A and B are shown apart, each in its own frame.
Chain A
Amino acid sequence: MSKVVELSRVVKVYGKGELAVKALKGVDLEVSEGEFLCIMGPSGSGKTTLLNIIAALDKPTSGEVKVCGLNLAKLSEEKLARFRLRNIGIVFQFHNLLPDLTALDNVALPAIIATGDIKESRKRALELLEWLGLSSGAQHKPFQLSGGERQRVAVARAIVNKPRLLLCDEPTGSLDYESKLRVLELLKRINVEKKTAVIVVTHDELVAKYSTRVLRLVDGRILESI
């Protein structure tokens, strides 16, 4: 099976000199197609840092990052943006949706950036929202949706361009139990039905139940696999 993510000896240091913080201390990681990987770790262990590096939102201090077989260090900022657009979907803990757009336009946005075809993108977004059972809120602005709905719309947006990799940073962090389950079920469904590789970083034990593999990140190092 082909590798979607290959990290080797990735180190990330924030700041310089006395104030330097070593967030990642040499991480090796491989993720295959179709995997649902859960990376657990306490607060401050470097989970967000790791995810940002995989998503090419941040550059490692040293080490090699390959996503979908491509070495990210060699790409310009503009190329990276386009690479993300087509290959990686991202769901953050907060602030995923643009408050100025309806849920439908939020979901359609990555497709609009990629194709420029507004009508077709909206059609695809609506189909996706229907598939996820969210079509009733399509015309609502984000502030009119519940936290759980917002997160599920964010997931829909992350997969509208059919990425090979879906990255989620604490996607259930601010949700109640019921909403958590629905978001996780959604991620699982995408993972199974669309064969999208999913990486979720979290300190929520519940996520582990849905994943095919669990890793622990402690103090910038990957410890054990279960």
Chain B
Amino acid sequence: MNWRFVWFLALRYLVSWKKHSAIIVVVIAGSVFLYALTYSMLCGLEYATLSRTLGLAVPHVKVEVSPRDYSKLAELLESDTRISAFSPRLLCDSLLVVGESSRGVRVIGIQYSLENRVSKISRYIVDGSWSVRDDECVIGVVLADKMNVSVGESIYLLLPTGSLWKLRIRGVFETSISEIDSYVVYVDLSELENRLGGDKTYCVALRLKNPSEASMVADWLKEKGYRASSWEKLAGNILRLLEVERFYSNALIGSVLVITSLGIVNIMLMLTESRKKSIGVLKAIGATSREIFSIYFVVSLIYGVLGYLVGLVGAVAVAEALKEVSVEFLSEKITVPFILDSELCFLSLVFSIVVSTISCAYSAYRASTIKPAEVMRFE
């Protein structure tokens, strides 16, 4: 095997087949471009949906506990370094009444400083402040709009016990998650607890330093006898939707791959066929079958790498220029950033080399099996 000869001829072929080489490189670049852009959007979508949902609508880990056992749990949670914050919540459904109009809402009783460390909700306050105390509440911007109320004004909550609770609006938040903005009313935990009476369950929301440890932490809590679940379980439908999204992207990439490969196979077979006599001569001179195969293989590798570079530069340029796109997902407008990380760059390289070598392998094999005595016989 003489690699210098292989490279020498591979480069000559590449230059000599200018037009076809350019077509193949462009085709590979096109599919790399599509691949990289689709996946960077998919990563962005995953990031955007999860980062908005996680911690706010869905805690990393949720533990259900009765108020009696809460202090024991709190001690346990405080001692664990994986947990960065936790907040007890008391949930109940009730009716919000302002004048003539009313709306069903989800009332969440919280201790405002603890809750803020878990959900960082104070970041989303657009009017007033987050510190709910006594007979105060914080409501979502959509709800405030619909009920036509604002900070400082009063609302009434009709609790499941039948009693009416008058609250002053302390703040308004806007998370842009429509279920939260139109549905949630935050009140003080102990006030709500007093008014509800009877058996209650705290829903303790945990924030972890590393969200990917959620199921580990949940399992650990289950072992200790608590009812705990991780966000992977809680946000299951979002993850499933993302999976569906991923499936369709893969199907798209797959068909691009097949079409691209068929095109390249076609061009390469044509080039091999037209160079049959050349290959016969090379073998008659003294080149081995392995060298012939390698020449075609090196050519295809170069196509793959060139196509990769061109395609990736294109994808990065587009991603940089657009930065983010607005898409509709789960009937919400969300801004999706392009996430083109080094892992994706590496995967694109693998993708383009797989496309080019697989589509060139057959013609390389065909070339290597040519028998000079047969091809040189005819004009």
Which residues, 351 to 379 on B, are CB-close (under 8 Å) to A?
Answer: 371-373, 376-377, 379
Please give, as numbers and ranges, the residues of chain B lying within 8 Å of A75 by CB-CB distance: none
Please give, as numbers and ranges, the residues of chain A lying within 8 Å of B275 by CB-CB distance: 100
Asked if A105 and B289 sit within 8 Å, CB to CB, the answer is no
Task: Please choose the segment from A88-96, A200-208, A218-226 that sits at the chain B interface, where 4 or more of its residues have CB less than 8 A away.
Answer: A88-96
Asked if B281 and A96 sit within 8 Å, CB to CB, the answer is yes
Please give, as numbers and ranges, the residues of chain B lying within 8 Å of A117 by CB-CB distance: 4
Question: CB of A27 within 8 A of chain B?
Answer: no
Asked if B376 and A116 sit within 8 Å, CB to CB, the answer is no
Q: Which residue of B lies closest to A57 (CB)?
A: B373
Which residues, 96 to 129 on A, are CB-close (under 8 Å) to B?
Answer: 96-101, 105, 109-110, 112-114, 116-118
The one of A83, A84, A93 in contact with B284, judged by C-beta atoms closer than 8 angstroms, is A84
Question: CB of A30 within 8 A of chain B?
Answer: no
Question: CB of B246 within 8 A of chain A?
Answer: no
Between A and B, 14 residue pairs with Cβ closer than 8 Å are A55-B284, A57-B376, A78-B290, A82-B288, A85-B285, A94-B379, A101-B12, A109-B282, A113-B285, A113-B286, A114-B2, A116-B3, A116-B4, A157-B285
User: Which among A78, A86, A113, A118 has the highest number of chain B CB atoms within 10 Å?
Assistant: A113
Interface size counted on chain A using CB atoms at 8 A: 34
Asked, given contacts A98-B282, A101-B12, whether A77 binds B287 with beta carbons under 8 Å apart, the answer is no
Asked if B286 and A95 sit within 8 Å, CB to CB, the answer is no
Complex CA gap A52/B277 in Å reads: 15
Interface size counted on chain B using CB atoms at 8 A: 31
> Hey, which bits of chain A sit against chain B, CB under 8 A?
48, 52, 55, 57-58, 77-78, 81-86, 90, 92-101, 105, 109-110, 112-114, 116-118, 157
Complex CA gap A96/B371 in Å reads: 15
Asked, given contacts A86-B286, A94-B379, whether A116 binds B373 with beta carbons under 8 Å apart, the answer is no
Q: Which residue of A lies closest to B3 (CB)?
A: A116
Complex CA gap A77/B372 in Å reads: 12
Asked if A81 and B12 sit within 8 Å, CB to CB, the answer is no
CB distance from B19 to the nearest CB of A (A): 13
CB distance from A147 to the nearest CB of B (A): 12
Asked if B280 and A81 sit within 8 Å, CB to CB, the answer is no
Asked if B289 and A82 sit within 8 Å, CB to CB, the answer is no
CB distance from B292 to the nearest CB of A (A): 10
Asked if B372 and A57 sit within 8 Å, CB to CB, the answer is yes
Question: CB of B13 within 8 A of chain A?
Answer: yes
Question: CB of B8 within 8 A of chain A?
Answer: yes
CB distance from A46 to the nearest CB of B (A): 13
Asked if A84 and B286 sit within 8 Å, CB to CB, the answer is yes
Which residues, 263 to 290 on B, are CB-close (under 8 Å) to A?
Answer: 275, 277-278, 280-290
Asked, given contacts A84-B286, A112-B5, A116-B2, whether A58 binds B278 with beta carbons under 8 Å apart, the answer is no
Asked if A81 and B288 sit within 8 Å, CB to CB, the answer is yes
Please give, as numbers and ranges, the residues of chain B lying within 8 Å of A109 by CB-CB distance: 5, 9, 282, 285
Asked if B16 and A100 sit within 8 Å, CB to CB, the answer is yes
CB distance from B317 to the nearest CB of A (A): 34
Please give, as numbers and ranges, the residues of chain B lying within 8 Å of A82 by CB-CB distance: 286, 288
Asked if A95 and B290 sit within 8 Å, CB to CB, the answer is no
Asked if A48 and B284 sit within 8 Å, CB to CB, the answer is no
Q: Which residue of B lies closest to A49 (CB)?
A: B373
Asked if B2 and A81 sit within 8 Å, CB to CB, the answer is no
User: Which among B8, B285, B373 has the highest number of chain A CB atoms within 10 Å?
Assistant: B285
Asked if A92 and B376 sit within 8 Å, CB to CB, the answer is yes
Asked if B284 and A90 sit within 8 Å, CB to CB, the answer is yes
Please give, as numbers and ranges, the residues of chain B lying within 8 Å of A48 by CB-CB distance: 377
Asked if A118 and B285 sit within 8 Å, CB to CB, the answer is no
CB distance from A47 to the nearest CB of B (A): 12
Asked if A110 and B284 sit within 8 Å, CB to CB, the answer is no
Asked, given contacts A92-B376, A95-B277, whether A110 binds B285 with beta carbons under 8 Å apart, the answer is yes
Please give, as numbers and ranges, the residues of chain A lying within 8 Å of B284 by CB-CB distance: 55, 57, 84, 90, 92
Asked, given contacts A99-B278, A118-B8, whether A81 binds B373 with beta carbons under 8 Å apart, the answer is no
Please give, as numbers and ranges, the residues of chain A lying within 8 Å of B283 by CB-CB distance: 57, 81
Complex CA gap A94/B287 in Å reads: 19
Asked if A100 and B278 sit within 8 Å, CB to CB, the answer is yes
Q: Which residue of B lies closest to A112 (CB)?
A: B5
Please give, as numbers and ranges, the residues of chain B lying within 8 Å of A93 by CB-CB distance: 379
Please give, as numbers and ranges, the residues of chain B lying within 8 Å of A95 by CB-CB distance: 277-278, 280-281, 376, 379
Asked if B280 and A113 sit within 8 Å, CB to CB, the answer is no
